[in-house]
């Protein structure tokens, strides 16, 4: 099996799909790894670190033409997608519900696509592959730092000869992996922090970090995958009204409600922004090309409202911590490769729950049930035999 590491091409992306430590794990297991020269430079990994880990260097064109597995951070760019060949596997955070038509086209060409964000998070054996959590952790940590840098006052209480500065009040909306890291970071920096979540079960995790917990009268709980389930329109309106009344008392707001393939819920309304204190900061981790959690936010853009509130669209903030984020992502990729190709051959077992979920396409068809449904395709026959792709 030959695994190819390419430089990421998305604007502002600084991570790399495999760091040198991940490459070393693969090569020690008998895998062949080929790295594009300079692929890890933005994440501070030198080419020499990759060769010391057992990889060889090659051009982008050589890697695409010869490698059987290509890990990626995001859905491949147009040139890479066009060049992929039958039985070649791409694995990473592919955002399949946004890229459904493109994935269907790849499936028709026989490309194997593996989307790690579809991993069933409730399975303990799948945790090592949980790239969504690893990158959310990095994003949440960084969100606290970004908020502190944009806020023009002290975060902690400061007692000086010139007087006492009161601590900043911060609220983190959504207390999943990203939210908990954001809470922990703001707490370390000295802010008074509140965690907000519609899942009442999150109270214990929030309070264990020394933060206050706030919830809504609308408490829909989690879906089967462990995420907060989607609300009805009426529930959203009720939640927004309650939350708007609470938010105006905070100096820093961090939102984390990212919904792959759909418009994220708007949690901080325009009226709320108008009522917030001048100098307040909102960091929107849910920001995307479809909108964000904060009214008027735009991904990868900082806006200051007429009332002096700074809104930072930060949907891919893990890229701001490229070394650590790449290290964690690399471990996720190694775990996924070990699961899908334990003997150096890509073997998709459609009876395995992990394979059923993360493998979006193989053997010439879209196979993930949720993606098939979204595409309007009939369910696959239940008696399909496990397929084996030759990894040359």
Catalytic residue set: 121, 127, 130, 133, 227
Strand 89-92 versus strand 112-115 pairing type: parallel
- Residue ranges of alpha helices (H) inside the chain are 20-28, 47-52, 60-66, 78-83, 100-108, 131-150, 177-188, 203-208, 233-247, 270-275, 322-340, 353-358, 369-375
Contact 257, 287 (CB under 8 A): no
CB 190 within 8 A of CB 165: no
Best CA proximity match to 304, nearest among 162, 152, 136: 152
Cβ-based neighbour number of residue 224 at 10 Å: 9
Strand partners, 359: 114
SS3 52: helix
Q: Are strands 163-165 and 387-389 parallel, antiparallel or unpaired?
A: unpaired
Q: What are phi and psi of 183, to 5 degrees?
A: -60, -50
3-state helix, strand, coil in the chain (%, to 5): 40, 20, 45
User: How many C-alpha atoms does 77 have within 13 Å on its Cβ side?
Assistant: 10
Taking the C-alpha atoms of residue 183 and residue 54, their distance in angstroms, rounded to an integer, is 39
Contact assessment for residue 234 and residue 216, using Cβ atoms and an 8 Å cutoff = no
d(CA 54, CA 5): 13
Burial 44-57 (b: 16+ CB within 10 A, else e): ebebebbeebbbeb
Question: CA-CA distance, 347 to 85, in Å (whole number)?
Answer: 17
From CA 29, how far away is CA 281, in angstroms rounded?
A: 47
């Amino acid at each position: 099996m030959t695994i190819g590491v390419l430089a990421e091409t998305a604007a502002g992306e600084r991570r790399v799909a495999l760091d040198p430590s991940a490459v070393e794990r693969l090569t020690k297991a008998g895998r062949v790894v080929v790295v594009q020269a300079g692929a890890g430079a933005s994440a501070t990994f030198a080419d020499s670190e990759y060769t010391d880990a057992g990889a060889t260097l090659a051009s982008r064109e050589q890697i695409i033409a010869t490698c059987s597995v290509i890990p990626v951070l995001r859905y491949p760019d147009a040139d890479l997608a066009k060049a992929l060949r039958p039985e070649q596997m791409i694995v990473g955070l592919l955002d399949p519900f946004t890229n459904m038509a493109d994935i269907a086209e790849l499936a028709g060409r026989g490309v194997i696509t593996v989307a790690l964000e579809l991993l069933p998070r409730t399975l303990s054996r799948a945790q090592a592959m949980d790239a969504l959590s690893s990158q959310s952790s990095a994003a949440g940590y960084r969100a606290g730092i970004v908020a502190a840098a944009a806020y023009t006052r002290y975060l902690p209480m400061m007692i000086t000869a010139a007087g006492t500065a009161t601590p900043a009040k911060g609220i983190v909306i959504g207390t999943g992996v990203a939210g908990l890291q954001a809470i922990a970071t703001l707490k370390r920096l000295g802010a008074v922090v509140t965690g907000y979540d519609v899942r009442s079960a999150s109270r214990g995790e929030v309070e264990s970090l020394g933060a206050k917990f706030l919830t809504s009268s609308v408490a829909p709980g989690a879906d089967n995958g462990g995420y907060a389930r989607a609300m009805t329109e009426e529930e959203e309106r009720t939640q927004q009204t309650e939350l708007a009344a609470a938010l105006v008392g905070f100096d820093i707001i961090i939102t984390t409600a990212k919904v792959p393939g759909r418009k994220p819920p708007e949690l901080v309304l325009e009226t709320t922004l108008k009522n917030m204190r001048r100098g307040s900061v909102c960091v929107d981790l849910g920001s995307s090309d479809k909108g964000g959690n904060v009214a008027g936010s735009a991904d990868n853009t900082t806006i200051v409202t007429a009332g002096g509130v700074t809104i930072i669209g930060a949907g891919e903030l893990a890229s701001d911590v490229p070394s650590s984020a790449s290290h964690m992502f690399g471990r996720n990729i190694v775990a996924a490769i070990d699961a899908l190709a334990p003997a150096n051959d890509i073997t998709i077992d459609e009876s395995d729950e992990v394979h059923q979920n993360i493998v979006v396409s193989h053997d010439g068809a879209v196979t993930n049930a949720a993606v098939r449904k979204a595409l309007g395709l009939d369910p696959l026959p239940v008696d399909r035999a496990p397929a084996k792709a030759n990894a040359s």
